[in-house]
Chain A
Amino acid sequence: MTTSAEVHFVRTHFNEQSPPPMRTSGIVHWLQENLFSSVLNSVVTLLILFGLYKIVPGLVDTLILNAVWVANDSKACVADIVGHPVGVCWGFVAAHWDYFVFGQYPETLRWRPELFFALEVIGLAWLLVQRIPRKDLGMIYFFIVFPIVGFCLLSGSETLGIPTVQTHYWGGFLVSIVIGTVGIVVSVPLGILLALGRRSHMPVARSSSVVMIEFIRGVPLITVLFMANVMFPLFVPEGWRPDSLLRVLVGVALFFSAYMAETVRGGLQAIPRGQYEAAQALGLGYWQMMIKIILPQALKIVIPGIVNNFIGLLKDTTLVAIVNIFDFLKVIEASLNDPVWRTSGMPFAGYLFAAIVYFILCYGMARYSMSVERRLATDNRH
Chain B
Amino acid sequence: MSVVNGGRPSEAKVVFYNDPRIRSLFFQLVLLALIVALFWFAYDNTVANLKKRNIAQGFGFWNVEAGFDISQTLISYSAASSYGRAFWVGLLNTLLVSGVSIVLATILGVLIGILRLSKNWLIANLATVYVEIFRNVPLLLILYFWYRGVLGLLPEPRNSIIFPGHILLNTRGLLTPRPVLGDDFIYPFIAFVVLVLGSIGLAWWAGRVQERTGIRPKTGWLSFGLIVIVPSLIFIVMGAPLSFDIPVQGRFNASGGMSLAPEFVSMVIGLTTYTAAFIAENVRAGILAVSKGQTEASQSLGLSHAQTIRLVIMPQALRVIVPLLNSEYLSLTKNSSLGVSIGYPDLVSVFTGTVLNQTGQAVEMVSVTMLVYLTLSLLTSAFMNWFNRRVALVER
Q: Give chain A's interface residues, CB within 8 Å of chain B.
A: 34-35, 37, 41, 44-45, 48-49, 201-205, 208, 215, 217-223, 226-227, 230-231, 233-238, 311, 315-316, 318-319, 321-322, 329, 344-345, 347-348, 351-352, 354-355, 358-359, 362-363, 366
Contacts and interface: CB of A to CB of B under 8 A. Distances in A.
A238 B52 contact: yes
A347 B24 contact: no
A218 B136 CA distance: 23
A235 B42 CA distance: 4
B348 A220 contact: yes
Contacts of A354: 141
B17 interface: no
Interface of B: 24, 27-28, 31-32, 35, 41-42, 45-46, 48-50, 52, 119-123, 126, 132-133, 135-141, 144-145, 148-149, 152-153, 334-335, 337-338, 340-341, 348, 352, 356, 362-363, 366, 369-370, 373-374, 377-378
- Chain A CB count within 10 A is highest, among B28, B138, B374, for B138
A215 B338 CA distance: 19
A203 B374 contact: no
A365 to B, nearest CB: 9
Contacts of A237: 45, 48
A68 to B, nearest CB: 17
A359 B120 contact: no
26 contacts: A34-B119, A35-B121, A45-B120, A48-B126, A202-B27, A202-B28, A203-B28, A204-B32, A205-B27, A219-B374, A220-B337, A222-B340, A226-B369, A236-B45, A315-B139, A316-B138, A318-B141, A329-B141, A347-B148, A348-B145, A348-B153, A355-B137, A355-B145, A358-B136, A366-B132, A366-B136
A220 B335 contact: yes
A221 B369 CA distance: 12
A220 B27 CA distance: 32
Which 10 residue pairs of A and B lie closest in terms of their CB atoms, listed nearest first? Answer: A34-B121, A362-B136, A220-B334, A230-B362, A235-B42, A204-B28, A315-B138, A220-B337, A218-B377, A218-B374
B49 A238 contact: yes
A362 B338 contact: no
A35 B126 CA distance: 13
A321 B135 contact: no
Nearest to B124: A34
A223 B337 contact: yes
A230 B52 contact: no
Given A48-B126, A347-B149, A363-B132, A37 B119 contact: yes
A219 B122 CA distance: 40
A37 B120 contact: yes
Contacts of A311: 136
B363 A351 contact: no
Nearest to A204: B28
Contacts of B119: 34, 37, 41
A49 B356 CA distance: 53
A204 B363 contact: no
Contacts of B341: 321-322
Given A201-B24, A311-B136, A329-B140, A218 B378 contact: yes
A341 B260 CA distance: 30
A239 B386 CA distance: 51
Contacts of B153: 344-345, 348
Contacts of B374: 215, 218-219
A237 B369 CA distance: 25
B362 A351 contact: no
Contacts of A366: 132, 135-136
Contacts of A363: 132, 136
Contact of A235 (B41, B140, B148): B41
Nearest to B30: A204
B144 A223 contact: no
A52 to B, nearest CB: 8
A233 B52 CA distance: 13
B123 A44 contact: yes
A327 B121 CA distance: 40
B363 A359 contact: no
Contacts of A231: 46, 362-363, 366
- Chain A CB count within 10 A is highest, among B52, B136, B370, for B136
A222 B337 contact: yes
A174 B263 CA distance: 30
B338 A219 contact: no
A234 B141 contact: no
A222 to B, nearest CB: 5
A364 B362 CA distance: 40
Given A34-B121, A351-B145, A366-B136, A220 B49 contact: no
Contact of B140 (A37, A49, A226, A319): A319
Given A48-B126, A235-B46, A347 B136 contact: no
B138 A318 contact: yes
A204 B49 CA distance: 30
Nearest to A230: B362
Contacts of B141: 318, 329, 351, 354-355, 358
A351 B152 CA distance: 13
Given A204-B28, A215-B374, A347-B149, 20 more contacts: A34-B119, A35-B120, A37-B120, A41-B119, A44-B120, A205-B28, A218-B373, A218-B377, A219-B377, A221-B334, A230-B366, A311-B136, A318-B141, A344-B152, A345-B153, A347-B152, A348-B149, A355-B141, A358-B138, A359-B136
Contacts of B49: 233-234, 238
Given A48-B122, A318-B140, A223 B352 contact: yes
